[in-house]
C-alpha cells in the first residue's frame, strides 16, 4: 500500500468516514479518504467523535484533549446549563467557586479553579 501524507482530520471528516462505513468496504473508504488502516480503525473506536459532532462542538477540531479534571468539568458544565436554563448570570468568580466546591466534594485536593482553568 502506498504511503499517504500525514494530515489530521477534523471531526466533520471523521463523521463522513463513520457514515461511509455503512455503504462502503473498509478498503474503499481508505482509498477515498487517503488514510491508513490504523487511523481508519481508530476513528471507529472513538464514540466521542460522534457525540461531539452531534452536539455541534468542534467541527474544525483535530484532536480531543482530555484533562485530569474531566469529572469536575462535566459536573460544572451541567451546573452551568441548569443555571442558564433559569436565566441566571454566571460570573467567573461564581463559576470558579462552584468548581472548587465540586472538586472538594470529589476529594480532588490538587484542583485550582484559576483563570486559566476557565
Number of domains in the chain: 2
Tell me the pLDDT tens digit for each residue of 13-68.
777 877 777 788 877 877 887 767 777 777 766 655 666 655 665 555 555 566 77
- DSSP characters for 43-109? HHH-HHHHHHHHHT--TT-------TTHHHHHHHHHHHHHHHHTT----HHHHHHHHHHHHHHTT-T
Q: What pLDDT score does 46 carry?
A: 66
- 85 and 49, same structural domain? no
Nearest to 113 by CA among 67, 60, 66: 67
Q: pTM value? A: 0.45
Q: Would 61 be classed as within a structural domain?
A: no
Q: Would 33 be classed as within a structural domain?
A: yes
Q: Would 73 be classed as within a structural domain?
A: yes
- 47 and 23, same structural domain? yes
Q: Would 2 be classed as within a structural domain?
A: no
- 47 and 17, same structural domain? yes
- 51 and 81, same structural domain? no
Q: Whole domain around residue 45: which residue ranges?
A: 11-55
Amino acid at each position: 500500500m502506498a504511503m499517504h501524507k500525514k494530515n489530521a482530520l477534523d471531526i466533520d471528516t471523521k463523521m463522513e468516514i463513520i457514515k461511509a462505513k455503512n455503504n462502503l468496504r473498509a478498503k474503499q473508504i481508505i482509498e477515498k479518504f487517503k488514510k491508513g488502516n490504523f487511523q481508519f480503525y481508530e476513528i471507529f473506536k472513538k464514540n466521542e467523535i460522534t457525540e461531539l459532532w452531534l452536539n455541534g462542538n468542534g467541527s474544525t477540531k483535530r484532536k480531543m484533549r482530555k484533562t485530569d479534571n474531566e469529572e469536575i468539568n462535566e459536573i460544572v458544565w451541567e451546573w452551568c446549563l441548569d443555571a442558564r436554563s433559569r436565566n441566571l448570570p454566571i460570573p467567573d468568580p461564581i463559576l470558579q467557586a462552584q468548581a472548587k466546591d465540586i472538586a472538594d466534594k470529589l476529594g480532588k485536593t490538587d484542583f485550582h479553579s484559576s483563570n486559566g482553568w476557565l
